[in-house]
C-alpha cells in the first residue's frame, strides 16, 4: 500500500530528492504525505493532507527550506488504515522529544496492547495510527543505541511492516521489513530505500532486496542483519534492466491510457519466454496432484480464466481461489500439490500468505509476476516474469493481459502443443496492434458519452469470457465509480435480470466459439426487458445497440475482449472527471490484509 522512500548521500539535496521519489510512488497511496529531513542535529518534519503530486517544489517557500544542507531524509505517501486522513495521522511520526522519525507501511496487529503499555510508561500519542507505537518503542530503548533500539522495538511487533528510521543523534539510515516490500538502491557513495524501484530508477539500476525479518543499517555502506538470529548477512547486487522511460507518462495524459496502449508490445514480450523453462513447468503441472491458481482482485479473475483455459486446452482440472479465501482450502494442499500464484507486484499480502502455507506443506510454488526479485519471486520454486514493465496506474491493464498470455501458453504446453499456443498468441498480439488506433479510441469515447450518466451497468460472458465479465466489472468500478456487476450469462434468469430496466447498459462479451449462440440468447433476454446491449464481438449482431469490434482470436479471446472494456473504463473516468490513475480508496500494491 503506502509508498516509502529514503535517501542517504552527499551528492544531492536529500529533502528534494525524497519528495521527487514520493511523487513517483504516489500510486501506492495518496491520502496524505510527509517528509522528515535531518539538518545539523535536528529532525525537521513537513506533512500535508492530499496528493503529493500537487506539491510544487518551486513554490515551497515557508514550507520546506531546500537551501539547508541535508544528506539524510525519509518520506511517506499514505493509504490510510488506522486513523482518518489528517495531518496528525500522516507520516513521518516523531518520538516525544523529536529526536527520532519513522515512516511505516503495513499494519501492526498488536498495536493496541503496545500502546496501552507505552501510555502507562508516560508516553503521549498525537495520532490515531498504529505506527506511532513503533517510534515510542524505539525511544523507550534508545539507551541501547539506535540500531539495537530498532532491533528491540521490532521484536515486539506482530503483523506486516516496512519501517524506515532516522535520528538527530546518529547519521545513519535504518530499515526493517516483514511482509511489506523494501528495496535498497546502491549508487556511488549514495543509497536509496524505497517500496518500489521506479522511485530511484533514474539514479541507479543496482539494487539489493530486503527479505522478511531482515534489517539494513546504512552508514558509509549498507550492513544487513537477520532479525531472528542477529547475524550479519551478505546481499548480492541485482542489475535492473527496466527502461526508466517506461515509468514515466511521456506524451500521455494518464498512466492508465499509456499502459493500455502498451499492450501492442507487452503481450509479445510476455510470450517471449525460455522454451525449456516453460516445458519444465508444464511437466511439473502434469505431475502435480492438485494444482491451485491463487490471486487477488484482478489477478484472481486471471486465475479463474486460467482454470477455464487449462480445462479447455489441456483437458486438465486446475483449481482457482482468491488469496484471501485460500485459508478455507489449505487442507487440500499436500507435498504433491503445485500452487500457481499470480501477482503484478509480487508483494500481495494475501497471496504471500497462501504461498507460506504451501511452502510449509512442502508443495511446489510457481509465481507469475511482473517484478523480478519481489517477495513472491524469491519464495518460489519457479518464476515467470511477464515482462510488462512498470505498471503505475492502480487499475491493472497490461499486466492483466500479459498474465493471461502466460497462462494460455502454459495450458498449451501442458497439452503438448506449445508451438500452436505461441502461434495463436503471436497472431493475437498482432491483431491487438491493429486494433489499438485513434479511430478505435474515438468509437469507445462515443460509447462512453452515451452511458456516462448511468449509475449501474452489467457485463455478461460465458466460458472463457465469464471471468472477463467479472474483470470488466472491476475495471468499471475502479475508475468510473459506476456500479457494475459481472455475471455468467446463463445466471441472469436466476435473479440478476430483475435489475434490468429501460436503457440499462449491459455489455455482452461474445466470442466466436461454442458459447456464442447461448450468450447472444442471454443478451436477447436483457434486451427484451429494455436493456441497452453493448456487444464486444468479432461480428456485429442485430441484438447489439452498440457494437465494439474485436479480433477473432480463438482461445486468446479473453485477452482481446478485455481491452475495449479497459478503454471504456478509462474514457468514462475522464468524462466523469475522475483520476483514472488514482481511484478513490484504492492503492496499487495491496500489502496489507
Catalytic residue set: 2, 588
Q: Is 416 left (phi over 0), alpha (psi -120 to 50) or beta?
A: left
Backbone Cα Rg of the chain: 25
Tell me the C-alpha distance between 177 and 213, whole Å: 6
Nearest to residue 569, comparing CAs of 399, 460, 435, 447?
447
Grid cell listed for 332: 487440500
Beta bridge partners of 44: 37
Q: Which helix (H) or strand (E) covers residue 9, if one does?
A: strand 3-9
Contacts with 56 (C-beta within 8 Å, 6 or more apart), sequence order: none
What DSSP designation does 211 have? Answer: P
Contact predicate 171/73, CB 8 Å = no
DSSP code string of 280-345 = HHHHHHHH-SSEEEEE-THHHHHHHHHHHHHHHHH----EEEEGGGGGGTGGG--TT-EEEEEESS
Contact predicate 275/418, CB 8 Å = yes
Contact predicate 593/277, CB 8 Å = no
CA angle 534, 540, 545 (to 5 degrees): 35
Cis check for the bond before 92: say yes or no (omega within 30 of 0). Answer: yes
Specify the 3-state DSSP secondary structure of 84.
Answer: coil
Beta bridge partners of 223: 217
Grid cell listed for 285: 503441472
Contacts with 263 (C-beta within 8 Å, 6 or more apart), sequence order: 397, 398, 401, 432, 436, 563
Nearest to residue 344, comparing CAs of 404, 400, 288?
400
Q: Is 250 left (phi over 0), alpha (psi -120 to 50) or beta?
A: left
DSSP code string of 120-172 = HTT----SS-STHHHHHHHHHTGGG-HHHHHHHHHHT--EEEEEEEEESS---
Residue 589 phi, psi dihedral angles, 5° rounding: -110, 110
E-only strand ranges, 179-221: 183-186, 190-194, 206-209, 214-218
Contact predicate 32/51, CB 8 Å = no
Amino acid at each position: 500500500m503506502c509508498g516509502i522512500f529514503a535517501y542517504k548521500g552527499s551528492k544531492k539535496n536529500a529533502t528534494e530528492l525524497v519528495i521527487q521519489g514520493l511523487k513517483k510512488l504516489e500510486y501506492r497511496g495518496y491520502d496524505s504525505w510527509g517528509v522528515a529531513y535531518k539538518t545539523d542535529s535536528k529532525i525537521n518534519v513537513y506533512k500535508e493532507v492530499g496528493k503529493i503530486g500537487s506539491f510544487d517544489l518551486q513554490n515551497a517557500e515557508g514550507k520546506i527550506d531546500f537551501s539547508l544542507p541535508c544528506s539524510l531524509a525519509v518520506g511517506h505517501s499514505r493509504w490510510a488504515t488506522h486513523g482518518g486522513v489528517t495531518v496528525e495521522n500522516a507520516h513521518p511520526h516523531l518520538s516525544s522529544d523529536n529526536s527520532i522519525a519513522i515512516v511505516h507501511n503495513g499494519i501492526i496487529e498488536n498495536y493496541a496492547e503496545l500502546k496501552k503499555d507505552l501510555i502507562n510508561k508516560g508516553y503521549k500519542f498525537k495520532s490515531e495510527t498504529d505506527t506511532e507505537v513503533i517510534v515510542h518503542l524505539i525511544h523507550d530503548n534508545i539507551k541501547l543505541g539506535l540500531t539495537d533500539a530498532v532491533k528491540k522495538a521490532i521484536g515486539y511487533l506482530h503483523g506486516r511492516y516496512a519501517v524506515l528510521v532516522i535520528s538527530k543523534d546518529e547519521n545513519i539510515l535504518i530499515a526493517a521489513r516483514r511482509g511489506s516490500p523494501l528495496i535498497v538502491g546502491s549508487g556511488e557513495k549514495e543509497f536509496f530505500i524505497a517500496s518500489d524501484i521506479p522511485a530511484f530508477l533514474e539514479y541507479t539500476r543496482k539494487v539489493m532486496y530486503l527479505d522478511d525479518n531482515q534489517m539494513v543499517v546504512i552508514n558509509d555502506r549498507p550492513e544487513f542483519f537477520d532479525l531472528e538470529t542477529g547475524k550479519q548477512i551478505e546481499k548480492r547486487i541485482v542489475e535492473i534492466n527496466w527502461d526508466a522511460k517506461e515509468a514515466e507518462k511521456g506524451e500521455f495524459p494518464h498512466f492508465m491510457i499509456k499502459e493500455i496502449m502498451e499492450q501492442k508490445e507487452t503481450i509479445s514480450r510476455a510470450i517471449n519466454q525460455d522454451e525449456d523453462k516453460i516445458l519444465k513447468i508444464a511437466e511439473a503441472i502434469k505431475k502435480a496432484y492438485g494444482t491451485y491458481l491463487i490471486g487477488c482482485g484482478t489477478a484472481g479473475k486471471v486465475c479463474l480464466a486460467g482454470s477455464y483455459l487449462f480445462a479447455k486446452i489441456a483437458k486438465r482440472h486446475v483449481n482457482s481461489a482468491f488469496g484471501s479465501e485460500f485459508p478455507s482450502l489449505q487442507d487440500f494442499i499436500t507435498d504433491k500439490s503445485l500452487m500457481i500464484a499470480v501477482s503484478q507486484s509480487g508483494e500481495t499480502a494475501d497471496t504471500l500468505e497462501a504461498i507460506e502455507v504451501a511452502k510449509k506443506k512442502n508443495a511446489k510454488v510457481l509465481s507469475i509476476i511482473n517484478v523480478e526479485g519481489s517477495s513472491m519471486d524469491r519464495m518460489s520454486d519457479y518464476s515467470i516474469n511477464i515482462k510488462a514493465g512498470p505498471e503505475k496506474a492502480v487499475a491493472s491493464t497490461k499486466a492483466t493481459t500479459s498474465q493471461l498470455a502466460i497462462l494460455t501458453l502454459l495450458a498449451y504446453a501442458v497439452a503438448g502443443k506449445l508451438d500452436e499456443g505461441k502461434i495463436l498468441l503471436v497472431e493475437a498480439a498482432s491483431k491487438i496492434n491493429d486494433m489499438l488506433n485513434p479511430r478505435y479510441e474515438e468509437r469507445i469515447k462515443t460509447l462512453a458519452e452515451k452511458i456516462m450518466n448511468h449509475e449501474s451497468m452489467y457485463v455478461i460472458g460465458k466460458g472463457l469470457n465469464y471471468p472477463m465479465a467479472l474483470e470488466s466489472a472491476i475495471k468499471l468500478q475502479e475508475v468510473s465509480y459506476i456500479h457494475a456487476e459481472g455475471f455468467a450469462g446463463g445466471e441472469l434468469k436466476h435473479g440478476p435480470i430483475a435489475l434490468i430496466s429501460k436503457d440499462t447498459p449491459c455489455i455482452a462479451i461474445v466470442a466466436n466459439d461454442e458459447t456464442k449462440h447461448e450468450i447472444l440468447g442471454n443478451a436477447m433476454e436483457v434486451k427484451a426487458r429494455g436493456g441497452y446491449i453493448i456487444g464486444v464481438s468479432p461480428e456485429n449482431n442485430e441484438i447489439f445497440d452498440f457494437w465494439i469490434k474485436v479480433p477473432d482470436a480463438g482461445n486468446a479471446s479473453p485477452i482481446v475482449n478485455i481491452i475495449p472494456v479497459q478503454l471504456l473504463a478509462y474514457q468514462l473516468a475522464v468524462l466523469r472527471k475522475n483520476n483514472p490513475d488514482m481511484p478513490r480508496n484504492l492503492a496499487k500494491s495491496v500489502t496489507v490484509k
